[in-house]
Chain A
Amino acid sequence: MGKINLASTTVVSREQRLGTIISWEGDALKLVEESGYSVPGCTGKKGNGCKLCEINGPFTQGSVCSEQMVECQAGNVRGAVLIQHSPIGCAVSQTIYNSIYRNGLAMRGLPVENLKIVSTNLIEGDMVFGGIGKLEQTLNDVWERYKPNAIFIGTACATGIIGDDIDSVASEYKEKFGIPVIPLHCEGFRSKHWSTGFDATQHGILRDIVRKNPKKQEDLVNVINLWGSDVFTPMLKELNLRVNYVVDLATVEDLAQMSEAALTVGFCNTLSSYLAQGLEQNFGVPELKAPQPYGFAGTDAWLRGIAKITHREELCEAYIKKEHERVTPKIEELKKKLKGVKGYVATGSAYSHGLISVLRELGVEVNGSLVFHHDPIYDSEDPIQDSLAFLVNNYGNVENFSVSNRQPYQLYALLKKVKPDFLLIRHNGLAPLASRLGIPAAPLGDEHIAVGYEGIVNLGEAILAILKRKKFHEDLSQHIKLPYTKWWLSQDDPYILAKNPEIIYQD
């Protein structure tokens, strides 16, 4: 049993905790069989049974870092301020996370405002003499300007290398200001996958914000999400339960009261794995052990799991029945319209497992998916949360299942092989390539779009709309030159350079 250890200020990276990989090819069934739930000891903890081999090659395109996930989580907590202890370049992405924050607030009906992230703006001299003085200055600026309820301090590659001791500064200022001042160790180079950044933020929240002497609120459910629209309140209301959304757009108090909730649920195991287990292991708040809430099978099981923990079985069964009856005719209509359509899912890991279930409910053919990373096991280590196995067992295999960490050059070869009519995407950087190949993509900026029963309908309608855009993309594809060599464009195997790295030295 993995333990979420809150003693250290530094989170243990995903690859160390879960055996996370960022490059792999095969089919979904093979990946299930080679992953942690099937292979005892395969959690990356020097287990001998692990067969999950990564196929990293000599060519890589720019990825994403942990610090960005800290920005998008800790930087989106209302009433808190995130300090980026970094040169100015790390701070430039406040732009995207501000846009997300503003639009997220608007979607939830909250007052729209700029996010509050401040960079210590380190320059060349600070690399030599250290940046602690500037961190203290920024802490004082933040306190004076905003009087926040909590201050997060995130590190950067540069501050990690020069070795600034942010832990000491954080404890000192925690005393001084009388609020949580939380160090988050999130240097980009420390983990090969950015999802460690989620864990870094959640680790800090568990250590320094979550209330240590909770008063139970038996009808409160922690929902770990991002900035998506409020679809969980109407669902859980049917069970007389209240939603506590965390981490994005939550207040510091919402985060503190997580320990008082009846249970914790999520919409994506990738995102919720660490925080949910941290709450269970350290605060006694159970994590829902159930499939993710996608498609009929997943949503039914997810609701029943919640009902069991909160003793609301009757309400739950009535709701399930009512919803099945309500959405089934709509889904039948959508199925007719989507007949013969082929989709491809290129999103975060566990999220893709959920989306493929929904597509298959809609009768959309899915014979390929790209995920940015793969966790062979989640922190709970409970097989019921093996979302990939749930997909394969309930909806069948996915023939071309690829792990590729935001590498558009590989996506080119993958799409050539799979030839989908559309893509579902979430992260930036892949849809532009699909577009140039004439394939439209539905960007799921609102991550809740496909959740629950209504999610099946939502996704179906989104796909119908996006298919119409084929006109634009096909036209464009006739007038485009791709930035790849003829040699690469003629390759069929996206992983050929990883398998035969010597090719790069041949003419």
Chain B
Amino acid sequence: MSHIQNSYENQKTNSISRPRYGCAIGAMYTASAIPGVVPITHCGPGCADKQYVSLAFYNGFQGGGYGGGAVPPSLNASENEVVFGGNERLKELIQASIKVIDADLFVVLTGCIPDLVGDDVPSVVSKYQEKGVPIVYAETGGFKGNNYTGHELVTKAIIDQYVGEYKGEKKKNVVNVWTEIPYQNPFWRGDLAEIKRILEGIGLEVNILFGHESKGVKEWKEIPKAQFNLVVSTWLGLSTAEHLEKKYGQPFLHIPVIPIGAKATSEFLRKVSDFAGLNQEKTEQFIQEEEKLYYKYLEDFSDFYAEYWWGVPSKFAVVGESSYNLAISKFLVNQLGLIPVKQIITENPPEEHKDNIRKEFENIADDVSVSPLFLEDGYLIEQALINSEEKPAIILGTTWDRDAAKQLGGNIVEIGFPSSYEVILSRANVGYRGALSLIEKIFTIAISASA
């Protein structure tokens, strides 16, 4: 089995079709996901639009919100800036942006052009910083990496250039949460809201940092005061947490599995509670209340799950970034008893984290072990899916995987970028409540396709 799987990884070349991430400047959506923050893109005329229509539109139709979409000031660099450089034009654009755009913080992101022609963006931006303008910059030329790389660059830029130094007291029971990437994960708004809700449930004060439940840059200013950082992801956010540990002396707790369903969520909360030194009784009380409700709903669901005449599918594949892939696979295996037949990880995680990710999948349940594939190219992903030794009846993937699902005679549930045939507002897939809506989604799709 491992031989066949490896053959796809060995077929990788530089080519990528049907991409499952943006480039580093896609992190303009990391910036605009913070309430009141507006990106300024220093790049060619199409870069910002490409990220917009892909990450924020044909991906759950999340919308550009306050500071994204067609709002961000952009240089629309022309031949002139390629030949003579773009420093002067950037200065002018920043000055004009301050006049026209109402932002609590501007984040300048660079594209390929300024990074290639060698514009001195730090010196342009620092002049404004010295004048007290809330503005930071990140060098995010597309050839530097994908929007996962960009996300960490922007996060770090805001911390270092805007939040700044802090030597004061820490606040007990306050946590900064680092987990999914806004917009790249089309469910980020709902997921973050649920994570915040459950952490508050056990007595924490939560800096969720992104989305409608964040207090924007005010909340970012509180980062250094938090008791600890919580990284809920396979690898993303770890380098941020390590940076914060050095910078502010903050410890961090790393939980690789985003919790979905009562089993995983209760376990997650106990770990956090333990690490933070919270009142155990209060934690258990919250868990009990949540589980009571959760299992009442599962009881209702069990009639369908146990005796739906026409059967419901068992074998599933997940195609997506490592964190969500792991989280969903774990939930479907451990709480629903479904059978994982193909798990493909698509965000190209840094080499040094791949072994840990593999280990998590190997130990997905006491009795189930999975060897994931690391593939980014849509062609190879499709080959791996359709030639799967055991055919998946449900693919939890993206729009790109619709054709594979059709060929396999199975169902497609779009859970990652791009999700062009989903409309997503506040829906979540994680925690107690998200798990229930994930169950609804999967089985609605499965049975509505049946007749």
**Chain A interfacial positions (CB closer than 8 Å to B):** 57-68, 86-96, 98-99, 113-114, 116-124, 126-127, 134, 137-138, 141-142, 145, 156-158, 161-162, 187-190, 192, 194, 406, 408-409, 428-430, 432-433, 481-488, 497, 501, 503-505
**Chain B interfacial positions (CB closer than 8 Å to A):** 13-19, 21-26, 38, 41, 44-55, 57-59, 63-64, 66-67, 69-79, 81-82, 92-93, 95-103, 111-113, 116-117, 141-146, 378-379, 399-400, 402-403, 417-418, 420
CB of B81 within 8 A of CB of A89, answer no
CB of A137 within 8 A of CB of B79, answer no
CB of B70 within 8 A of CB of A98, answer no
In whole angstroms, how far apart are the Cα atoms of A432 and B61 in the complex? 12
On whether A428 and B44 interact (CB within 8 A), knowing A89-B26, A504-B95, the answer reads no
Which residues in A have their C-beta under 8 angstroms from that of B143?
87, 122-124, 126-127, 158
On whether A91 and B19 interact (CB within 8 A), knowing A96-B58, A188-B44, the answer reads yes
CB of B50 within 8 A of CB of A89, answer yes
| Most chain A Cβ neighbours within 10 Å, of B55, B74, B99 | B99
| Most chain A Cβ neighbours within 10 Å, of B26, B70, B74 | B70
On whether A89 and B47 interact (CB within 8 A), knowing A95-B399, A137-B13, A503-B99, the answer reads yes
10 residue pairs A–B, Cβ–Cβ below 8 Å: A58-B96, A61-B70, A62-B52, A98-B18, A99-B420, A114-B402, A189-B79, A485-B99, A503-B99, A504-B96
In whole angstroms, how far apart are the Cα atoms of A88 and B18 in the complex? 10
Return A68 CB to nearest CB of chain B, in Å: 5
In whole angstroms, how far apart are the Cα atoms of A145 and B11 in the complex? 12
CB of A156 within 8 A of CB of B49, answer no
CB of A161 within 8 A of CB of B117, answer yes
CB of A121 within 8 A of CB of B58, answer no
CB of A95 within 8 A of CB of B53, answer yes
Contact of A487 among B50, B99, B117 (CB under 8 A): B99
Contact of B112 among A63, A145, A158 (CB under 8 A): A158
In whole angstroms, how far apart are the Cα atoms of A20 and B88 in the complex? 25
CB of B16 within 8 A of CB of A95, answer no
Contact of A96 among B54, B78, B141, B403 (CB under 8 A): B54
CB of B74 within 8 A of CB of A61, answer yes
CB < 8 Å A-B pair total: 254
In whole angstroms, how far apart are the Cα atoms of A421 and B101 in the complex? 26
Which residues in A have their C-beta under 8 angstroms from that of B59?
95
The 10 A-B pairs with the shortest beta carbon distances in the complex, nearest first, are A65-B46, A89-B23, A429-B70, A89-B142, A62-B48, A62-B74, A59-B96, A87-B142, A188-B44, A95-B54
Given contacts A141-B379, A189-B78, 14 further A-B contacts (CB under 8 A): A59-B93, A61-B73, A62-B47, A87-B143, A88-B146, A94-B17, A123-B145, A137-B13, A157-B112, A157-B113, A188-B45, A192-B76, A484-B100, A485-B101
In whole angstroms, how far apart are the Cα atoms of A67 and B146 in the complex? 19
In whole angstroms, how far apart are the Cα atoms of A99 and B44 in the complex? 24
Return A80 CB to nearest CB of chain B, in Å: 14
CB of B23 within 8 A of CB of A504, answer no
Return A96 CB to nearest CB of chain B, in Å: 4
Which residues in A have their C-beta under 8 angstroms from that of B400?
98, 114
CB of B96 within 8 A of CB of A137, answer no
Which residues in B have their C-beta under 8 angstroms from that of A94?
17-19, 54
Name the residue of chain B whose CB is nearest to the CB of A145: B379
In whole angstroms, how far apart are the Cα atoms of A66 and B18 in the complex? 20
In whole angstroms, how far apart are the Cα atoms of A90 and B418 in the complex? 15
Return A503 CB to nearest CB of chain B, in Å: 7
In whole angstroms, how far apart are the Cα atoms of A389 and B75 in the complex? 33
On whether A63 and B73 interact (CB within 8 A), knowing A121-B14, A158-B116, A503-B99, the answer reads no
CB of B73 within 8 A of CB of A99, answer no
CB of A408 within 8 A of CB of B70, answer yes
Contact of A156 among B26, B98, B112 (CB under 8 A): B112
In whole angstroms, how far apart are the Cα atoms of A145 and B13 in the complex? 13
CB of B78 within 8 A of CB of A192, answer yes
Which residues in A have their C-beta under 8 angstroms from that of B63?
432
CB of B71 within 8 A of CB of A89, answer no
Which residues in B have their C-beta under 8 angstroms from that of A122?
14, 143
CB of B82 within 8 A of CB of A118, answer no
CB of B99 within 8 A of CB of A92, answer no
Which residues in A have their C-beta under 8 angstroms from that of B79?
189-190
In whole angstroms, how far apart are the Cα atoms of A487 and B24 in the complex? 33
In whole angstroms, how far apart are the Cα atoms of A126 and B98 in the complex? 36
Return B438 CB to nearest CB of chain A, in Å: 23
Which residues in A have their C-beta under 8 angstroms from that of B57?
96, 428
CB of B112 within 8 A of CB of A87, answer yes
Return B255 CB to nearest CB of chain A, in Å: 29
